[in-house]
Amino acid sequence: MVIKTPLDIRQARKRAGISQAELALTLGVSQSQVSDLERGLRRRVACLDLKAVLSAIANTAARKERLETAKREAIERVTSDFEITKMPADAGW
């Protein structure tokens, strides 16, 4: 995707599945500054360059995916452990 407008930045962020707050945290700015950037209000976010923003989007999306994968794997392990150790229905409890 070619980034030409502030809307393109918003679409790239949304396609990556991250919120303005998540992107702001990665960039070290406020969520409102990310909102301003996406609306084309550059006066408050002049310190951000496009390369840094796009890199932050990619890094945040990758980090979020790693966390989701770890969460799924942990749930699968716990579920598997539970299935192995659960008592039969007729155990008399």
Question: What domains are there in the chain, each with its CATH number?
Answer: 6-85 (1.10.260)
Query: With bands split at pLDDT 50, 70 and 90, how would you rate the model's confidence at 54?
Result: confident
Query: With bands split at pLDDT 50, 70 and 90, how would you rate the model's confidence at 21?
Result: very high
> Cα separations (Å) of 12 from 60, 83, 84, 85?
12, 41, 43, 45
The fraction of the chain above a pLDDT of 70, given in percent, is 76
pLDDT of residue 22: 92
Q: Is 28 helix (H, G, I), strand (E, B) or coil?
A: coil
Model's pTM, two decimal places? Answer: 0.63
